[in-house]
Chain A
Amino acid sequence: MTQNIQFIPGSDACIEGALYAGCDFFAGYPITPSSEVAEGLAAALPKRGGKFIQMEDEIASMACIIGAALAGKKVMTATSGPGFSLKQEGIGYACMTETPCVIANIQRGGPSTGNPTHVAQGDTMQARWGSHGDHSIIAMTASNLQDVFKITVEAFNLAEQYRTPVILMFDEATQHLREKVVIPEPGEIEVIDRIRTKIPVGEQYYPYLTDANGQRPMSDFGAGHRFHVTGLHHNIMGFPDVSPANVDALIHHLVDKIENKANELARYKEYYMDDADYVIVAYGTTTRSAIQAAEDYRNQLGIKVGVLELQTVWPFAGDIVREKCANAKAVIVAEMNMGQIVNEVKRVVAQPEKVFFSNRVDNQIIKPSDIKAALRMITGKGV
């Protein structure tokens, strides 16, 4: 059997991942640099009976995928920059109503219109806290296109499993990069479908009742269970209920269902970490330069530098970061922002004073030389 090998840009790797995961509904609005995802799915979805719709704005496309998810579809939207800000209202509604959906945020320079065609990682905290009110969120990213494919499949799986929006935090560089991607055969990567209720039509179905397995099985609009959803604080029936005990249980549920599973949700990769004296924590595009910096230090100076790549950005994998950094003489966090994950790392490690920061915010990819400059300062030796 021949492998399905493609040489494609990151947008296509994301599209292929979405299709592999069974995405059958996409609503979007044009914005750089995410538009290629919408364009690709506009062509691909109808070929398999799926639906694509270009909505009148970012807010509408977010609302539209929520509606389609309520009617049973595996849904996605994609956006960038200001579009991600506009989607926050709908992301909060999807959190509150526990509606599975995937939002690809192809990051570009900000704030405001910023720089639509260049790279940044300035939305990391916005992904976590961008929508008002207490909630939790799953956000993921990747640094090479094989992983973009895989993480996109995972995003759909987790959205369905956890009944939550999942945000893909790719960026302009991975979007426009071209690499070899092997598209797996069906079944090679597990695809998880929504858990649907087994309660017979005609019997009482509670859309927000946790079952013995810790799941809240769903039904679809039109499937006969006739449930209600609201963005108001609600009870197991989905009906507004602002009694303090109910609200307390709801907020704890929305946060705990994700935060208590941080270790299970953690996807990460280690490069040269077995004997590392120095650890670079990186995510997304930044990881590529971190690996190069680590290799240069090892090969040219014999200094043992390793890289911990976070693919799950939220919930923050605090236990894993603490454990992997436990023996490090120093930790460098590399980000293309003014410091967003670095404070999370400082918060979890035993010695926060040993955490250093390497960044760029000039719309250029962080280079190995940028990270090596930090290593030189820390180790006193440079390459």
Chain B
Amino acid sequence: MSDTEFDVKKYIRAQFFPQMWCPGCGHGTVMGALLRAIHDLGLDNNDVSVISGIGCSSRISGYLDFNTAHTMHGRALPTATGVKLANPNLKVIVPFGDGDSTAIGGNHFIHACRRNIDITAIVMNNRIYGMTGGQYSPMSGCGVKASTAPYGVPDRSFDLMELAKGAGATFVARTTVYHAKEAQNTIKKAIEHKGFSVVEILSMCPTQFGRKNKAGEAPQMMEWYKDNTVPMGSKKLADNPDLIQRGVFVDEVAPEYCETYQENVIDKVMKKG
């Protein structure tokens, strides 16, 4: 744990700023929460690897002064799996978007959960494909307007927490960019957790989602998360079951993939000779 004061310059590649996110984008708040969590844990920059996919959110890897890869659309988790299994000493963190993690990378997501490999997945969920012009994602939700759903999205959306839980992730949590301190602490817990951890952070895209859905500017979208989310098990749910729950839904101890491979495969085979 760190007892020094947080200095963002220690963790960013300042020469690559300003970043490319739109004014009012929620992703910068996620980046801030992630870096503060890393600082709180006292991690050495050399020991952290950030692997992202493709999309607005996934540009995060380039801005951070760690071992970083901006990979292929949907392929952040399998790439991260290779990094982690090759060097289990690295703290591997995968920040990526809702489309990246649940659509094109959906299969990789459920199998990373199942393997329980010690990676922290941070889903920066703004419910839209921002970079490509506001098409709907599996997280948009029925009725939402998007450039490919001018009459409203006909699909049902995933509940990412249920998906991660069902697939076997051993740490599953949700928070929002409005609750920045909570996001920082949740990410911290997720990184500390041994095994596959999923943190969904409800983020916002005023440019694409906000305009099409008349959700207002960034402050109004943030307020929406304040008004429409509650801590897990809140009494308010009785009156309004549509409120979105925040909190740690799963925190379990289970065998971690890299350790299992080392102990049950390599060590055993080598002992046999």
Instruction: Report how far A223 CA is from B75 CA in the complex, Å.
Output: 23
Is A251 positioned at the interface, with any CB of B under 8 Å from its CB?
no
Is B132 positioned at the interface, with any CB of A under 8 Å from its CB?
no
Is A59 positioned at the interface, with any CB of B under 8 Å from its CB?
yes
Name the CB-closest residue of A to B109. A56
Give the segment of B63-71, B134-142, B214-222, B245-253 that binds chain A: B63-71
Q: Spell out B's residues near A (CB within 8 Å).
A: 13, 16, 45-47, 49, 51, 54, 61-62, 65-72, 74-75, 77-87, 89-90, 107-108, 111, 261, 265-266, 269-270
Range, interface on chain A? 35 or more
B90 and A71 form a contact (CB under 8 A): yes
Contacts of A222 in B (CB 8 A): 46-47, 49, 67, 87, 89-90
Contacts of B83 in A (CB 8 A): 67-68, 70-71, 221
B85 and A51 form a contact (CB under 8 A): yes
A67 and B69 form a contact (CB under 8 A): yes
A61 and B62 form a contact (CB under 8 A): no
List A residues 24-70 near B (Cβ within 8 Å): 25, 27, 46-47, 49, 51, 53, 55-57, 59-61, 63-70
A228 and B61 form a contact (CB under 8 A): yes
Is A90 positioned at the interface, with any CB of B under 8 Å from its CB?
yes
Is A82 positioned at the interface, with any CB of B under 8 Å from its CB?
no
Which residue of the partner chain, among B49, B71, B86, contacts A231 with CB atoms under 8 Å?
Answer: B71
Name the CB-closest residue of B to A223. B46
B68 and A61 form a contact (CB under 8 A): no
Choose among B13, B66, B71, B270 the residue with the greatest number of A CB atoms under 10 Å from its CB: B71
Is A271 positioned at the interface, with any CB of B under 8 Å from its CB?
no
Query: Contacts A93-B72, A239-B62 hold; do A67 and B86 have CB atoms under 8 A apart?
Result: yes
Chain A facing B: main interface SS: mixed
A53 and B87 form a contact (CB under 8 A): no
Q: List 21 A-B contacts (CB under 8 A).
A: A46-B265, A46-B266, A51-B261, A53-B261, A57-B107, A59-B74, A63-B72, A63-B75, A67-B69, A67-B80, A67-B81, A67-B86, A93-B75, A221-B69, A223-B46, A228-B13, A228-B62, A229-B69, A231-B54, A239-B16, A240-B70
Give, as a whole number of angstroms, the nearest-CB distance from A86 to chain B.
11
Contacts of B71 in A (CB 8 A): 63, 66, 93, 231
Instruction: Report how far A68 CA is from B108 CA in the complex, Å.
Output: 16
Number of A-B pairs, beta carbon distance below 8 Å: 141
Query: Contacts A51-B261, A67-B78, A89-B72 hold; do A72 and B86 have CB atoms under 8 A apart?
Result: yes
Is A73 positioned at the interface, with any CB of B under 8 Å from its CB?
yes
Which residue of the partner chain, among A59, A65, A223, A230, contacts B62 with CB atoms under 8 Å?
Answer: A230
Choose among A49, A57, A226, A240 the residue with the greatest number of B CB atoms under 10 Å from its CB: A226
Name the CB-closest residue of B to A56. B111
Instruction: Report how far A68 CA is from B77 CA in the complex, Å.
Output: 12
Query: Contacts A67-B80, A221-B83, A226-B45 hold; do A59 and B75 have CB atoms under 8 A apart?
Result: yes
B79 and A67 form a contact (CB under 8 A): yes
Contacts of A66 in B (CB 8 A): 71, 79, 82
A90 and B72 form a contact (CB under 8 A): yes
Contacts of B84 in A (CB 8 A): 67
Instruction: Report how far A183 CA is from B90 CA in the complex, Å.
Output: 36
Is A357 positioned at the interface, with any CB of B under 8 Å from its CB?
no
Query: Contacts A60-B108, A229-B69, A231-B72 hold; do A72 and B87 have CB atoms under 8 A apart?
Result: yes
Is A268 positioned at the interface, with any CB of B under 8 Å from its CB?
no
B70 and A64 form a contact (CB under 8 A): no
Is A195 positioned at the interface, with any CB of B under 8 Å from its CB?
no
Give, as a whole number of angstroms, the nearest-CB distance from B196 to chain A.
14
Chain A to chain B: the 3 pairs with minimum beta-carbon distance, closest first: A67-B82, A71-B86, A60-B78
Instruction: Report how far A73 CA is from B86 CA in the complex, Å.
Output: 7
Instruction: Report how far A64 CA is from B81 CA in the complex, Å.
Output: 6
Give, as a whole number of angstroms, the nearest-CB distance from B11 to chain A.
11
Instruction: Report how far A220 CA is from B66 CA in the complex, Å.
Output: 12
Instruction: Report how far A226 CA is from B65 CA in the complex, Å.
Output: 7
Name the CB-closest residue of A to B68. A228
Instruction: Report how far A230 CA is from B62 CA in the complex, Å.
Output: 8
Query: Contacts A46-B266, A49-B266, A57-B107 hold; do A64 and B78 have CB atoms under 8 A apart?
Result: yes
Is A232 positioned at the interface, with any CB of B under 8 Å from its CB?
yes
List A residues 200-215 near B (Cβ within 8 Å): 201
Instruction: Report how far A220 CA is from B49 CA in the complex, Å.
Output: 11
